[in-house]
Amino acid sequence: MAMRETILKAIEEPMKRYYEDMTTVLGNWQPLERAAAELLEGRDVNDEEIPEVYLPMLQMMRLIAKVTRESEWDWADPRIQEIFKDKAASPLYGIFTRVMAGTVSAIFSNLQIGTLVEVGAGPGQVTQSICEEMVKRNQSIPLIISDRAPGIMQVREKLARAFPSLSITAHIWNVTEPPPGDLVDRLVKPVLVFERFCLPYAGHEAIDMISPIADILVMQDDLSITGRKMSFDLLYEKIGTTFLTFSEAMRHLKKYFSFIHTCDKETTEAINSGVTTFTVALK
Ligand SMILES: C[S@@+](CC[C@H](N)C(=O)[O-])C[C@H]1O[C@@H](n2cnc3c(N)ncnc32)[C@H](O)[C@@H]1O
């Protein structure tokens, strides 16, 4: 079977599960958007006013509104760290982690992959799930994790202790720049690159830095289909995130990949969302 068909078949199952998770847990995003609009106007929103599943996101947005009114946003601020930790551990993020790990591992289980590369790995939640999948599936594909933050080295140490049978290396890589030479030297083709929620901080142009090394790219980022900014986007812009659009991401991806697939079309329609979140691209 051609690579394209193999991948489409492999990701069917994790995407079906994602559809079920999202349509059961969410319904639609309007309450969160309304809350963002209120916060932008300088009003507060009580926890009881939105469905519980959105609470960690409401707390994060409330904090963004408050902190950016008073001072500069600083990720090292302990209040921010604390709330981000809760957000990352929330059921909604659990769904995002499961589908990402499910998609990447479905691909490497069905296709020979030489190297896995994660971009903007942060605290390594997705990485950990992918390591668990590799061990469960009795595989050990060399894994390179990267981030612009030096903390990636400690993340590697922790993962290497937890998964001694796996080969994990780490590199500091700011993806607004080309990959470091020692990372490129480690690559064995075909290379599968994946990233989650890094592009909002690095911008569309980072696609031009990560795509040249990727034979397969899996991206999990909210890409606006309409190109119209929502209150949610305006609030997050206050902390320096880029408003990502589907059309601009496609313009960059098309320079490198012959096949680009939006994996979550049905989910987007079912939950009445203005963004698509999962893209798989092949050379
Ligand atoms: C929201 S966190 C996501 C972390 C992880 N991917 C996850 O989904 O849990 C964004 C990550 O992107 C990293 N990042 C932001 N800009 C970057 C850049 N230009 N190059 C590399 N990493 C970057 C940050 O350091 C942070 O770890």
Q: What is the pLDDT of residues 68-109, one digit of tens each?
A: 888 888 776 777 777 777 777 788 888 999 999 999 999 999
Model confidence over 212-271: pLDDT tens digits? Answer: 999 999 999 999 999 999 998 999 998 889 999 999 999 999 999 999 999 999 999 888
Task: Answer yes or no: is pLDDT of 136 > 60.
Answer: yes
Ligand 1 probe mutation, 183, 198, 236, most atoms within 8 A of CB: 198
Which spans in 111-198 are helix H?
A: 125-136, 152-162, 181-186
Task: Answer yes or no: is pLDDT of 170 > 70.
Answer: yes
Return the DSSP state at 245.
B
Which residue has a Cα nearest atom 4 of ligand 1?
122
Q: What angle do CA 32, 275, 228 make, to 5 degrees?
A: 85
Q: What angle do CA 279, 202, 191 make, to 5 degrees?
A: 50
Provide the pLDDT for residue 27: 67
- Can you tell me which atom of ligand 1 is nearest the CA of 198? 12
* C-alpha 2 – ligand 1 centre gap (Å): 33
Mean pLDDT for the chain?
A: 92
Looking at per-residue confidence, does 214 or 61 come out higher?
Answer: 214
- Ligand 1 neighbours (beta carbon < 6 A): 120-122, 125-126, 147-149, 173-176, 196-198, 201-202
* C-alpha 269 – ligand 1 centre gap (Å): 28
Any idea which residue has 């020979």 for tokens?
112
Greatest Cα pair distance in the chain: 57
Which residue has a Cα nearest atom 1 of ligand 1?
197
Instruction: Compute the distance between CA of residue 124 and CA of residue 121 in angstroms, rounded to an integer.
Output: 5
Listed in sequence order, the residues at least 6 apart from 214 whose beta carbon sits closer than 8 Å to its beta carbon are 117, 191, 192, 193, 256, 281, 283
Nearest Cα neighbor of 34 from 52, 66, 68, 61 is 61
- Can you tell me which atom of ligand 1 is nearest the CA of 195? 6
Residues 206 and 215 sit within 8 Å (Cβ to Cβ): no
Provide the pLDDT for residue 89: 75
Which residue has a Cα nearest atom 18 of ligand 1?
174
CATH class of 2-282: alpha beta
Provide the pLDDT for residue 276: 93
Which residue has a Cα nearest atom 27 of ligand 1?
122
Across the chain, the runs of DSSP E, i.e. the strands, are 115-119, 143-147, 168-172, 191-196, 216-224, 259-262, 275-282
Ligand 1 probe mutation, 153, 201, 213, most atoms within 8 A of CB: 201
Upstream peptide bond of 190 is cis (omega within 30 degrees of 0): yes
pTM above 0.95, yes or no: no
Ligand 1 probe mutation, 60, 117, 148, most atoms within 8 A of CB: 148
User: Within 10 A of 188 (CB to CB), how many other CB atoms are there?
Assistant: 10
Q: What is the dihedral of CA 270, 275, 278, 281, to 10 degrees?
A: 120
* C-alpha 197 – ligand 1 centre gap (Å): 7
Which residue has a Cα nearest atom 10 of ligand 1?
198
Any idea which residue has 């993340």 for tokens?
155
What average pLDDT does the segment 269-279 reach? 89
Residues 154 and 232 sit within 8 Å (Cβ to Cβ): no
Provide the pLDDT for residue 175: 97
